[in-house]
Structure 1
């Protein structure tokens, strides 16, 4: 299911970022985001790519267990649920490693 999901979603695209007072060679930005929920159990990490970062489309980029990077809208409840679960898992693993 993951390969089919990855094919149906737009992955990252490298595009030049506008110069905002710094020497930013290139920024990975999403050209679009999927409105279809991504199964949370295939996600291992996330990061934000926002307009303030030089991207035209604000997105949360989820990295799957297989290394795919999927772009999702940051304002969707299903995106928030995945992020909360990932943060909870990370906090739990930090407590156990201390």
Structure 2
């Protein structure tokens, strides 16, 4: 059962990494450091968007419109961190 705990923690770590990469990449695109006209950049951007949209979509529907500021990634990061805390505090259930 410890393996299940470790797999769940790994999945949460991977989701955490993709969200951080998505946020940083969105900043770089908005400040025109990265250009979506480059095929490699566009491919990564659209791939990460397709991976994270199922997580962001329901949260965006719940949150109010913030006039261009998207706080859905922050809400998902908080949820991922909360899941990590819950798993770590209940590790005894995996033994």
Same topology, TM > 0.5: no
CA radius of gyration, larger in: 2
- TM normalised by structure 1 equals 0.30
More helix by share: 2
More strand by share: 1
- TM normalised by structure 2 equals 0.31
**Structure possessing the higher relative contact order (Cα contacts under 8 Å, 6 or more residues apart):** 2
